[in-house]
Amino acid sequence: MMSQLKSRSLRGLDYINFSLADVRDGIGPFLGIYLLSVHHWNLKDIGIVSSIATFAGVVVQTPAGAFTDRFKNKKIILAIASLLIGFGTLLILIKPDYSVVIVSQVIVGIAATFVGPSVAAMTLGLVGYKKLEARTGRNEMFNHSGNVSSALISGLIGYYIGLKGIFIFTLVLSIVSVICLQLIDNDEIDYKLSRGSLAKDESENSGDSAEVLRQPLFIIFTVCCVLYHFANAAMLPMAGQYIVSENKVDASVYMSACIVIAQLFMVPTAAWCSRKAVDGRKWLMLVCFAILPIRGLLYTFSANPFFITSVQVLDGISAGIFGVVSILIIADLTKGSGHFNLANGILITAVGLGASFSNVAAGYIANVFSFKIAFLFLSAVAALAFVICLYFMKETYNPDS
């Protein structure tokens, strides 16, 4: 009977990762296209509002991770966050004024900060450390599969109904995610494991959080991730705006194609990565970091929509690796500490800070100089992340621990 319950909860985790895939970022890169093509905003303002959600998340991400460590019912956290994202996104459709868009993005940004830690906590609490590689890979597979399905539907909605339909679709998905949560039995989630404590630990706090977070490897890894996301966050929205500016076409279909292609490659990459992660984490992260500057350089070659779309294969491989290995590295560094979600929250905070400045910086550079210069700048930042990881990051995986 217990195995059937656990199986039902794990199946619910599959569905949650699938349905939440397109919810957590609101309408994502479609926001810039909508504001540019429908309301004719300038690139600088689009860059600012596109960064607001990420920046708002930065402010609360670390306490969100600590809260997730402490709060036992992860389902409630995830349900509230999902609904806030859905209704927050709808505000833009109701009144697309500058102030309303900012308020909407603040709501979406804050709510989204609870999604990643909650899913990671439920995963660790359900399967434990021994099965974490396989389960994390499976989570990413369902997440990327959900993104593929959502992007295809969003593209069709944008083409046949209009960009406004994508806002409604995001709200529907947020409600579906709450329904899927009912499959997960909260009693099946081991509370201590979900926060990174070992089952044998008797205390609520197994380790000092300051000691955990002051680890040199944690700091180095965080710096690499900040640089990676600073370089990565603006690339896809910028590519969509590049297509619109140079070709004077509706980029919603091409943007959907970009997302679909990337996500299609993320699915097998995540599966492969979960198997290879038991051979070590560092070499996988080096592959991840090496791909991004190549992708940025390729964007400078042509604004042809089909070429831009094909380059997204690299995004799929890089992001597929990052999604799996980053969680595993944090689990390695915090094992037995009881601060898994806090450390994960701090990492996401730092990453979000880098990502928020990415859209502002790239938007400003593109507005003042050109899209090509913006892509070159982002590529240089990505190359720096690779160099730091190569020379300063050590292996975190210990098969004997």
Which among 305, 224, 240 has a CA at the least distance from the CA of 47?
240
Supply the pLDDT for residue 261.
81
Q: What is the mean pLDDT of residues 66-93?
A: 84
Supply the pLDDT for residue 183.
86
**Which tokens hold the place of 366?**
């593109």
Query: Measured between alpha carbons, how far is 377 from 369 in angstroms, rounded to an integer?
Result: 11
Eight-class DSSP state of 215: -
- For residue 366, give its domain range: 2-192+203-392
**Does any domain span residue 398?**
no
**Does any domain span residue 235?**
yes
**Does any domain span residue 86?**
yes
Residue with tokens 């990420």: 54
- Predicted model pTM: 0.74
Least confident of 52-61, 134-143, 220-229, 275-284: 52-61
pLDDT tens by residue, 290-336 = 999 999 999 888 878 888 888 888 988 998 899 889 988 988 888 87
Please state the domain count of the chain.
1
Query: Measured between alpha carbons, how far is 20 from 176 in angstroms, rounded to an integer?
Result: 9
CA distances from 244 to 32, 102, 268, 371 (A): 11, 23, 31, 12
**Does any domain span residue 198?**
no
Residue 2 CB neighbours (<10 A)? 8
Give the torsion sign (CA, 240, 245, 246, 248). positive
**Does any domain span residue 400?**
no
**Which tokens hold the place of 273?**
């990565």
Sorting pLDDT into bands at 50, 70 and 90, what band is 161?
A: confident
**Does any domain span residue 401?**
no
**Does any domain span residue 399?**
no
pLDDT tens by residue, 203-254 = 444 555 566 667 888 899 999 999 999 999 888 888 877 777 777 666 566 7
Annotate 64-109 with three-state secondary structure.
HHHHHHHCCCHHHHHHHHHHHHHHHHHHHHHCCCHHHHHHHHHHHH
**Does any domain span residue 125?**
yes
Which residues make Cβ contacts (< 8 Å) with residue 197, sequence separation at least 6?
Answer: 206, 336, 337, 338
CATH of residue 324: 1.20.1250.20
Eight-class DSSP state of 210: H
Supply the pLDDT for residue 132.
84
Query: Measured between alpha carbons, how far is 39 from 45 in angstroms, rounded to an integer?
Result: 12
Q: pLDDT higher for 375 or 60?
A: 375
Q: Tell me how many degrees the CA angle 65-198-339 measures, rounded to the nearest 5.
A: 20
For residue 200, the one-letter residue type is: K
